[in-house]
Chain A
Amino acid sequence: MAEVGNPNEESLKLAKNVHEHIGGMYNDLARAVLWNSSARIEKNDFSDPAYTEEYVTKGNVTEQGLIKFFMAIEGGEGCLGIKH
Chain B
Amino acid sequence: MVKKEDGSVRIYTKGAPDMLFDKLVGVQDQEGNVLDMMDECTVPAELKEDDDEITQIDLLEKTVKYFAHRAFRTLLICYRDMSMDEYESTKDEHNNFEKESDKDVLECDLVAMSIFGIQDPLREGIIESIEKVRLAGITTIMCTGDNIDTAIAISKNAGIITEDKVNDKFACMTGKDFREEVGGIIKVQDPEFPEDPSKTIDKVGNISKFRAVKQNLRVLARSSPEDKYLLVTGIQECDGVVAVTGDGTNDAPALTKADVGFSMGITGTDVAKGASDIILMDDNFTSIVVALRYGRSVYDNVRKFIQFQLSVNVVAMFIVFFGSVVLRDSPLNAVQMLWVNLVMDTLGALALATEPPAGDILDRQPYKKNNAIVTEVMWRNIFGHAIWQIIILVVILFSGQGWLCENYSIKCLKFNPNNSKECIEFNPFYSNELYVMNNEIEMWNSLNLTADKFNTTLIDKFTCNQYKTKNPMYPADKPCTKEQIAVKYLPQEQ
Contact = CB atoms under 8 A, between A and B. Distances in A.
Interface of A: 1, 3-4, 6-7, 21-25, 28-29, 31-33, 35-37, 61-62, 65-66, 69
Contacts of B119: 3-4
Contacts of A37: 14
A12 B63 CA distance: 21
Interface residues of B, number: 27
B147 to A, nearest CB: 12
A32 B121 contact: no
B385 interface: no
| Most chain B CB neighbours (cut-off 10 Å) among A28, A31, A66 | A28
B66 interface: yes
A83 B215 CA distance: 48
Interface string B100-130: 0000000000000110111111000000000
Given A32-B113, A66-B116, 6 more contacts: A7-B121, A22-B30, A24-B32, A31-B2, A33-B77, A61-B267
B120 A35 contact: no
Contact of B32 (A3, A25, A69): A25
Contact of A32 (B31, B77, B120, B267): B77
A32 B2 CA distance: 10
Contacts of B65: none
Nearest to B73: A62
Contacts of A1: 44, 46, 63, 66, 117
Contacts of A22: 30, 114
Contacts of A4: 119
A6 B63 CA distance: 21
B284 to A, nearest CB: 12
A54 B46 CA distance: 37
A32 B79 contact: yes
B114 A29 contact: yes
6 tightest A-B CB contacts, nearest first: A32-B12, A65-B118, A32-B77, A36-B12, A1-B46, A24-B32
A61 B113 CA distance: 22
Interface in B18-43: 28, 30-32
11 contacts: A1-B63, A3-B72, A22-B114, A25-B30, A25-B32, A28-B113, A31-B12, A32-B79, A35-B12, A66-B118, A69-B116
